[in-house]
Structure 1
């Protein structure tokens, strides 16, 4: 794993734990929130033809072992902003890979 990569464990409503890799975190002044985009670890292994499963949530950073609290995206405007951030992120990744 390269430096800078971080993993989180996401626990669903049934108590199931999933190890996930954080792709991107950012703050939005427009919405006054912080956001995290992550993908389950192993979801992009070996089969590059499949789409990457990306989850997006707003979050309140937390202290200590429990970390923060993930909250669902509430508005279409937030989804539009997140989609723009994702597109920019992957465009920049592609440029770095081509260098």
Structure 2
């Protein structure tokens, strides 16, 4: 995976592959990592309320010889920063929808 990609394939703990669409990526200077927000592609990705579950992971961008790698979020401080980024993103989306 690289910055600017639109889709990634995520492999779960059971070895199942799921095509996901990338919502957005960002870098954190504080943590020295890149992060990606993504969600599964397809109707089955929606819950009973019609909402799509969004996932977030840290990632190491790939290069031409190697695929990128998703990493778990490791600390509560990272989660707090990610939540702040998510809230800002959602607020900006609402502003755009209101225009």
TM over 0.5: yes
Residue 44 to residue 13, structure 1, CA distance change in 2 (3 Å): closer
How many residue pairs match? The answer is: 94
String of CA shifts for 1:47-94, please: whole Å, max 9, x gaps: 6x3443111111110113753101100000000000111111111111
- Scaled by the length of structure 1, what TM-score is found? 0.82
Instruction: List structure 1 runs of 4+ shifted beyond 4 angstroms.
Output: none
Query: 1:10 — aligned with what?
Result: 10
Q: Deviations over 1:12-45 (max 9, x none)?
A: 2322110111112000000010001111113349
Q: 1:44 to 1:65 in 2, by over 3 A?
A: farther
Give unmatched runs, 5+ long, in structure 2: none
Task: Give the corresponding residue for 1:73.
Answer: 73
Tell which has more relative contact order, 1 or 2 (C-alpha 8 A, sep 6+). 2
Q: Which runs of 5+ in 1 are unaligned?
A: none
